[in-house]
Structure 1
Amino acid sequence: MSDYHRTPLSRRALLKAGAGVSALGVLGAPAIVSRANAQSKFDWKRYAGEKIDVMMVKNPRADLLQQAEKEFFDLTGITVSSEQIPEQQQRQKAMIEFSSGRPTFDVTFLALHVQKRLSYKGKWTEDLRPYINNPEMTSPDFDLADFGAAGMNFATQADGAINTLPQFVDFWMLYYNKDIFQKKGVEYPKSMDEIVTAAAKLNDPANGINGFVSRGLKNANIPVWTSWLLGQGLETIDPKTGKLNTDGAEAIWAAELYRKLNKDYAPPGTIGFNWNECQTSFMQGRAAMWLDGIGFATPLEDPTKSKIVGKVGYGITPPGPKAHHSAIFADGIGIAQASKKKGAAWYYIQWACNKANQLAMLKAGAGSPARMSPFSNPEGTKSAMFPKDYFECMSGSGKIGRPGLPQIIPVTEFRDIFGVALTNTLSGADVASELKKATEAFKPVLEKSEQG
């Protein structure tokens, strides 16, 4: 729980937290606010004296926002009481409280890759378009066009409603060990097929090195398969038609690629690997390539945890036979429809996602911001920890991002059913047969979710 009146943070403390003067003070600077107010009817002090409750997911991005709450109060006069909750528990709390119709919070963070459709069907959060389009409610510095297409597409519903604002976008990319590549004389793969070729050349189990590693554990493994399917220009479920693309030739190709890489070139026991086992294997120098989210990068460059500091390459997911996409996952931030303090809540959201706080996220290594401006800001890409290609990977992936999970309500059921099918293929089951069985099992689940 954070309430800045109870835990005030000085500017010195904020600087130590990695946010920095330039990162946190842009929209809060009195001169800028004065100029903005002189040119518009917008007033940051409009809701001064109000107090809002914010439900966060426990992560470094939430840390940064909590550390900056004093600045938000100085800017707006609005008091923020925020609470960080571990991811799974936070999702459960959101479901329970929104279902009750009496949520205890005014603002909440949502995992768009899981809760996008669910939140819209349940009318959890406000459509933000009326706020965005109202010059009396939105700061002239807001700059909606600065948000990348990947994040905005994720935050926009099929009918055009924007019921969250994207705050964080996690891109799936290919980590690679530059040292191993150089010793074997292998270049970074230019296509998905070349990933297999490179993995074969890099695979050296006799010396404790595997050519590739990715998630093999059921449910967790779905984004590996969908990443390859995006190379065929398809999502597992078409977001416009609702058509299942899960047992056709393209889906089989993607699952065969998943099986070959994880069966032939991954470490023993990969069938039980989630991201943490993959991360450990890679940062101990036991894997040449690892497909996963760029949000897992920080420990790789920490000399107290990693054996490959300075040797990590950050590569955009190579193109497939028909398309070039990066699987993305995103967090959005929205106003509870039941809130009685929607104006103050909107002020918090536009502040939380402003250019200053998005830049602070990038500088602190807390993840990939939804805005594009941090990547072109020299302050954002100055880092003693990360190399240039880390930032280039995030920026480039943002231009080709596409959802890594289907935009449906029963996302968990989808991951469970197809995750088991994929895991079965690692034990020798036929790919086409497993996908067909999973598709038939999931159809009634999807149809039921679309009713009503």
Structure 2
Amino acid sequence: MTGSLHVSRRRFLALGGSVAALAAMPACSAPTSTPTGSAGGGNPWKQFSGTTINFISENTAPSAAIAADLGPFKDLTGITVNIQQMELDKVVEKCKLDFSSGSAQNHVIYADPYQVLAPLADGLLDLQPFIDSDSYPPVEGGLADFIPTQLAAAGRFLDPAKVYALPYDAPTMILHYRVDLFEKYRARMQRDLGFDPVPDAFTWDQYLAVAQWFNDNAKADVRYGVGAQAKQHDSLQCDFSNVLWAFGGDYFAKGQEVGLLGSTDPGPVTVNSPQAVAAATFYKKLISVAHPSSVTWDWTGLGDAFTAGEIAMCANWHEFAAGEEKAFPGKVGYAPLPAGPARRANIYGGTGIGINANAKDAELGAAWLFVNWATSPQTQLSSLASTVGGGTPTRLSVYKLPDVRAQESASPSAYPNMRTARAVTTAWQPENIGLRPKVAQWVELDTIIFTELSTMLTRNGDPAATMAAIQDQMTRVMQ
């Protein structure tokens, strides 16, 4: 894995088009049975040998790694896989066209939970019949080997008995900080601030205080204590959501349960609650002491600023560790995000891969073999070590491998993203994970949220008025 992976691997761009247009699309019904074949002399991996399938994906690190090394899958199955990688909004548009056409140009789908799974679930196949079938190789370790919160958030929608996707990647926001700077200034900060500045134990108030302290006392080593991804972009919604949930607020009355299975009835919009207003008030104050360019940065800009030595700490997706470890070998620490009055919250941005419900016959079976293989422990381990891509495993068993565990503390690490393992595995616990509402209208709601927050930050808007405006617009969308 190379340092070049600090470039953006998550591009949650606003999807053009209306929810009404999505709702008007014809539903695609799943086949009543799964195909079997006799080719391959009884070897279930070879039964669709000679088939060609297409996989459409966001341009993510795991897909780059798999695309660069498809030989093992071809040798195992005799199946040819063509992989297209593009921006997420283009993936969504192609899926909409494919699902509504009644045919399957793309057989395997990168099913983002919010932009594909929730609004377009009828276009995806329930994978449970494949998982249960004796006609196919078993899912190694079973569904229990997937991290439970990820299987629910990335793989299921509305019906807990159905699995529309298997967890494929797992970007999660955690705290990144310069260990060398904290070691150098720790005693002075403790004396001046009255608490021991250990990032693992931070509250959001302490995070703000430490950021201000770096601004005032450490210009010789770093320009600003903190940076943020506060551009008018999905990144701003992600950054703010961590604070919103930590302060006890949420977007809907049903809260985090809407982020697991999703809902067609998430309850009333709740973003103008006292807790949400307190979160917005705090967030505005935090951005006022952050690097001034924060309001122009998405996650990529923030990651570049960190690796350039511009800031001492930030909240960013954990997979930026690959680039950070190259810039500051062994000098970057990782921790769960700070605690608020209610809890810690670390937004989860992972996605699963599923199958186009229009796929038929051998292409359908071949697509399932690829989904099974691409999410298997061995493939995830190979991806983790790839020099052209990678990612973070979604399988519990991979984290238990002695070689993987050894790389968590190694510097330099053969698997740089494993340096974040302790922080992200804590972040994925049910009490710490942050889940956006998995509702069909999320793309419209997301745009409302980051547009109003950006106005608050760049035009000195009132936090209470901002949250009231978001409340009003979100309510209209849901109605």
Q: TM-score, normalised by structure 1?
A: 0.82
**In 2, distance between residues paired with 1:47 and 1:389?**
39
Note closer, same or farther for the CA distance 1:137–1:234 as it changes in structure 2 (3 Å cut): farther
Q: Give the 3-state SS of the residue equivalent to 1:215 in structure 2.
A: coil
The SS at the match of 2:436 is coil
Cα pair 1:147 1:371 within 8 Å, conserved: yes
2:224 is aligned with 1:224: no
Within-5 A mapping of 1:237-252: 237=252, 238=255, 239=258, 241-252=266-277
Q: Which residue of 1 aligns with 2:351?
A: 331
Give SS of 1:269's match: helix
| Structure 1 residue 141: Cα displacement | 2.6
Is 2:96 the counterpart of 1:95?
yes
Question: Per-residue CA shift, 1:33-58, capped at 9, x if unaligned?
Answer: xxxxxxxx982222223222222222
Q: Does 1:157 align with 2:157?
A: yes
Residue 71 of structure 2 is aligned to residue 56 of structure 1: no
Q: Which residue pairs with 2:403 in the alignment?
A: 379
Amino acid aligned to 2:454? T
Query: Does the CA-based 8 Å contact 1:56-1:83 persist in structure 2?
Result: yes
Q: Does 1:192 align with 2:204?
A: yes
Aligned residues: 401
Give the C-alpha shift of residue 69 in structure 1: 2.0
Q: Deviations over 1:208-258 (max 9, x none)?
A: 521211111123200111111222455423315333231101211221222
Q: 2:284 aligns with which of 243, 259, 262?
A: 259
Specify every segment of 5 or more residues in structure 1 that has no aligned partner in the other structure, as ranges: 1-13, 15-40, 448-452
Distance 1:394 1:258, change over 3 A: same
Gaps of 5+ in 2: 2-41, 187-196
Give the 5 Å matches for 1:388-427: 389-400=419-430, 402-426=433-457, 427=459
1:269 and 1:276 map into 2 onto residues whose CA distance is 13
4+ residue stretches of structure 1 with deviation over 4 A? 205-208
Matched AA of 1:405: R
**Matched residue, 2:294:** 270
CA RMSD of aligned residues (A): 2.4
Q: CA deviation at 1:332?
A: 1.1
For the 8 Å contact 1:168–1:332, the answer to whether it is kept is yes
Does the alignment pair 1:349 with 2:371? yes
**Contact 1:362 1:374 (8 Å CA) reproduced:** no
- 316, 319, 323: which is aligned to 2:336? 316
**1:43–1:388 CA distance, 2 compared to 1 (3 A):** closer
Greater RCO structure (CA 8 Å; 6+ sep): 2
Asked whether the 8 Å contact 1:235–1:406 carries over to 2, the reply is: no
In 2, distance between residues paired with 1:431 and 1:274?
A: 21
Partner Cα separation in structure 2 for residue 110 and residue 67 of structure 1: 21
Contact 2:126-2:163 within 8 A present in 1 as well: yes
Name the CA shift for 1:198/1:159 in 2 (closer, same or farther; >3 Å). same
* Identity value in percent: 24
Q: Cα distance 1:142–1:375, how it changes in 2: closer, same or farther (>3 A)?
A: closer
Q: 1:320 & 1:135 partners in 2: Cα distance?
A: 48
Checking the alignment, whether the CA contact within 8 Å between 2:245 and 2:434 is kept in structure 1 is: no
Letter aligned with residue 255 of structure 1: A
Q: Is the deviation greater in 70-79 or in 137-146?
A: 137-146
- Cα deviations by residue, 1:318-375 (Å, 9 ceiling, x for unpaired): 3322223321011211110001122221111001100001122333472222212221
Q: What's 1:148 paired with? A: 147
Once the two structures are TM-superposed, the CA of residue 180 in structure 1 deviates from its matched residue by 1.9
The aligned amino acid for 1:230 is W
Cα pair 1:66 1:82 within 8 Å, conserved:
yes
Partner Cα distance (2:390, 2:132) in 1: 30
2:462 is aligned, of 430, 444, 447, to 430
Shift of 1:315: 1.0
Stretch moving more, 404-413 or 324-333: 404-413
Provide TM-score, normalisation by structure 2: 0.78
Task: Give the structure 2 partner of residue 291 of structure 1.
Answer: 315
Q: In the alignment, residue 334 of structure 1 is paired with which amino acid?
A: G
SS of equivalent residue, structure 2 residue 311: coil
Alignment CA distance shift 1:387-1:125 (3 Å): closer
Distance 1:58 1:388 in 2: 21
For residue 44 of structure 2, give the secondary structure of its aligned residue in structure 1: coil
Shift of 1:404: 4.2
- The structure-2 alpha-carbon separation of the partners of 1:166 and 1:339, relative to structure 1 and needing over 3 Å to count, comes to same
Partners of 1:159 and 1:233 lie apart in 2 by 27
Residues 48, 365 of structure 2: 8 Å contact kept:
yes
| Residue type of the alignment partner of 1:243 | P
8 Å CA contact 1:42, 1:136 repeated in 2 = no
Matched to 1:124, the amino acid is G
Q: 1:161-208 deviations in whole A, cap 9, x for unaligned?
A: 211111111111011111222222132243223212222222238545
In structure 2, what is the Cα distance between the partners aligned to 1:402 and 1:140? 26
